[in-house]
Amino acid sequence: MTTDEDDSPCAGGDPYALALRTGRGPVYLRMADGRRIRMPVHCWYAQPTLADESVLARCVSPVLDVGSGPGRLCRALLGRGVFALGVDVAPRAVAHTIALGGIALCRSVFDRLPAEGGWQTVLLIDGNIGIGGNPRTLLGRCIQLTAPTGLLLVEVDPADVEERCTARFEDIHGHEGPPFPWARLGAPALHRLAESLALSVIDQWRHGHRRFLALGRQDSIPGT
């Protein structure tokens, strides 16, 4: 999960940028209505969990990891012989990925990217369906990036939620970073959105408290 805040002139004091620098929190996502959600920073820097493994097992090369952060997933895939490229707007996250042997670009998913239309798997994990605050626009862009027979693997909120908002990162002392657009989707909302974009839900699964869906183009699925 990443935003543009690492590029801010004040990045040195921004809670999110500091969390990326140290690899630990606590750092929170402060929603516009006052809710505060703790972000699992330590997990972004750790080895893949069993829930992550359930995603990695479904990846077909080549893989594009959108909002890849410090690169735990793309590095794990490369270690298994699956080509994976991370894309993230936070320079520190990209540098960490590369330093540990991963491949990553410091770029937005909405920028020009390599091999557009040729990725067999595109990942939106760790809440990254919220990037940009407009899941329809984000999924539309990911469809452009994905090969006709490719899949989008998306992690959704475990709750039945559909929310677009402005959020900020905040540390334990209440110091805030700049606002940015964000979104949260549960599985029912993603089902509805997928249908409106001519996508089919190919698979869906849970692992612990985390929930995932695999989406593919309807015209690439026999019988649809």
Distance CA 191, CA 183 (A): 15
Helix, strand or coil for residue 128? helix
Which residue matches tokens 């590095």?
A: 75
Distance CA 143, CA 214 (A): 13
Q: Where are the domains positioned within the chain?
A: 49-165+180-220
In this prediction, residue 7 has a pLDDT band, given cuts at 50, 70 and 90, of very low
Q: Which of 5-9, 53-57, 79-83, 95-99 has the lowest mean pLDDT?
A: 5-9
Q: What is the mean pLDDT of residues 130-139?
A: 97
Distance CA 67, CA 113 (A): 13
pLDDT of residue 24: 73
pLDDT of residue 189: 98
The answer on pLDDT for 3 being more than 50 is yes
Which residue matches tokens 């989008």?
A: 152
Answer yes or no: are the C-beta atoms of 156 and 215 closer than 8 Å.
no
In this prediction, residue 5 has a pLDDT band, given cuts at 50, 70 and 90, of very low
pLDDT of residue 11: 41
Total count of residues recorded for the chain = 224
Q: What is the mean pLDDT of residues 99-126?
A: 97
In this prediction, residue 44 has a pLDDT band, given cuts at 50, 70 and 90, of confident
> HSE on the CB side for 65, CA within 13 Å?
33
Domain 49-165+180-220 adopts which CATH fold? Answer: Rossmann fold (3.40.50)
